[in-house]
């Protein structure tokens, strides 16, 4: 219960759903559904607080970091890598984040959360192009084929999730059964509308 509350507090702190608890996030038990996007703590309802420019960038960065389940170092490394790639830095950053194998498994609807996806990967239940991959941070590319093992597909949690939920697979992905395909490249438009990856760029560019 304490773990559930801790994760739900993160969503309330960022004033949006971060989808950290799988099934719970889609149910009436979700605090965002019951209480609205009210930050935790005794000052959560205060409305006269005006964050500074730095504060806005920090909250935007924290929201992205928590959404993908990354450490501070991991997110900064993605920023640095994206800034060295050709093209727009913001789009590059989102491309790197969305292309992580744990995120792809979640976005394909093969796991109820990114944390669950990481567990499946580490335990050897995922193959990329018929090769077992046990690194959640592995970056997929266009035309890669992702397959969840039949054993994992038979797990109660995964089986119930596959039967109940249609998360709406993004356009750059396709799935049939336990198999997914990378059709194209993800971009900024694939982030939820209330997430601003540009704030991550601004925060680390200071």
Are 155 and 178 members of one domain? yes
Q: How confident is the model at residue 162 (pLDDT cuts 50, 70, 90)?
A: confident
Are 177 and 161 members of one domain? yes
Give the model confidence (pLDDT) of 133-149 as tens digits. Answer: 999 999 999 999 999 99
Residue 189 counted as domain residue:
no
Residue 55: give the domain boundaries. 2-96+195-204
Residue 190 counted as domain residue:
no
Are 39 and 87 members of one domain? yes
Are 81 and 104 members of one domain? no
Are 9 and 85 members of one domain? yes
CATH of the domain at 6: 1.10.1050.10
Q: Rounded to whole angstroms, how far apart are CA atoms 133 and 117?
A: 12
Give the model confidence (pLDDT) of 166-195 as tens digits. Answer: 668 999 999 999 999 999 999 999 998 889
3 state SS of 179: strand
| Count of domains for the chain | 2
Are 123 and 48 members of one domain? no
Are 62 and 132 members of one domain? no
Give the model confidence (pLDDT) of 6-17 as tens digits. Answer: 555 555 554 565
């Amino acid at each position: 219960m304490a773990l559930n509350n801790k994760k739900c507090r993160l969503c309330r702190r960022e004033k949006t759903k971060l989808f950290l608890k799988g099934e719970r996030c889609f149910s009436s038990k979700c605090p965002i559904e019951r209480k609205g996007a009210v930050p935790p703590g005794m000052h959560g309802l205060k409305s006269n607080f005006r964050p500074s420019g730095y504060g806005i960038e920090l909250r935007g960065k924290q929201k992205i970091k928590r959404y993908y389940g990354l450490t501070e170092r991991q997110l900064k490394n993605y920023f640095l890598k994206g800034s060295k790639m050709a093209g727009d830095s913001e789009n590059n950053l989102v491309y790197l984040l969305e292309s992580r194998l744990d995120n792809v498994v979640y976005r394909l609807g093969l796991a109820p959360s990114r944390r669950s996806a990481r567990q499946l990967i580490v335990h050897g239940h995922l193959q990329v192009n018929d090769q077992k991959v046990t690194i959640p941070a592995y970056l997929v590319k266009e035309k890669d084929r992702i397959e969840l093992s039949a054993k994992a597909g038979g797990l109660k949690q995964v089986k119930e999730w596959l039967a109940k939920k249609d998360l709406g697979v993004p356009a750059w992905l396709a799935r049939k059964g336990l198999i997914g395909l990378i059709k194209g490249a993800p971009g900024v438009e694939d982030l939820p509308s209330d997430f601003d990856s540009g704030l991550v760029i601004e925060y680390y560019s200071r």
